[in-house]
Amino acid sequence: MKLGFIIPNYPDEKRVALLPAHVNDFENDIVIEHNFGLNLNIKDYEYEKVGCKIATRAEIFSDCPAIFSIKCIQEVDYKNIRPNQMIIGWTHPNGSGKGFMESQFNLKNLTIVDLDNIHPQVYYKDKIKLIDWIKPNFIKDNSFIAGYSSVLHALLSFGMIPDHSTNIAVLGCGNVSQGAFCAVSKFNNNVRMFYRKTMDEFIEERESFDIIINGIEVDKTGLHILSLEQQKGLKKNCLIIDAAANAGKAIEGTVFSNLNNPIYNREDVYYYVVSNAPSIFYKQASLKISESFSKNVYKRDINIFKELVE
């Protein structure tokens, strides 16, 4: 099948999801948008040398049954999506891609392949199937970078260098939380990690923290880690960094921010909820993404995703 790669038009997204070095024995015909690798100074001819075809964005939408976009396709391209196409990437159907799903999914009978790090799934009509041959944590390095970059960017944007007097809580123990801990612990050792089993202890002590970093993703509505009421008890000028970018779910009432305006204030609490923070370190992230996705996604005939839900 023809798999077309488009340059993501998600705000401030710089990651390049496929590098020529990883194109090897793919079962799909790869079509690359002109200047796809520009952020990494990869020229079109470098993709052509490994067997890829270069095309315009319009040609890719017109000719390729499957489209890869690392982040959810934005509204400006909705008109280009054809009925029955397959859309692959971090589509986040229940998060930042919810509007896309509501607008395009059923209308155009799309097959959506969401490459979530823990639960990669295929969506088609009323079916949702787990991609069981992709192991959980297959792209853990990008998740680690998400935690790391969120912390550094949030501190820089907030104008703060933590020191020994700064009380910091990190929620969770997964890849995102580990990356966050790695970054913030470089400033001081006054960092406490809380897990799902010790979350009651965190809630009791929440007013003592200057910085709260969340690395937990909450799937079910209403199971917030911090409710709106509980947030009222936080220290004035507390900074909440939602490194998991789980807007409105983990921390009730939060909304997405972006790399240009990453922090907002609500009732004397500051919030950072950027969904593509790894794009700050796009060179390292691109390498890890291309390597893992090539092995687990691009290499196999992507018809297998369609077969999963038929």
Domains of the chain: 2-114+284-309 (3.40.50.720), 140-273 (3.40.50.720)
Dump pLDDT digits (tens) for 250-306: 999 999 999 999 999 999 999 999 999 999 999 999 999 999 999 999 999 999 999
Distance CA 18, CA 91 (A): 17
pLDDT of residue 222: 67
How confident is the model over 213-221, as a mean pLDDT? 87
> In terms of C-beta distances under 8 Å and separation of at least 24 residues, what long-range contacts does 124-130 make, across chains too?
124/306, 124/309, 124/310, 125/309, 127/309, 129/308, 129/309
Q: What angle do CA 64, 131, 59 make, to 5 degrees?
A: 10
Q: How many CB atoms lie within 10 A of CB 109?
A: 13
Contact 309, 155 (CB under 8 A): no
CA 278 to chain centre: 8
How confident is the model over 89-110, as a mean pLDDT? 91
Round to the nearest angstrom and report the end-to-end CA distance of the chain.
Answer: 17
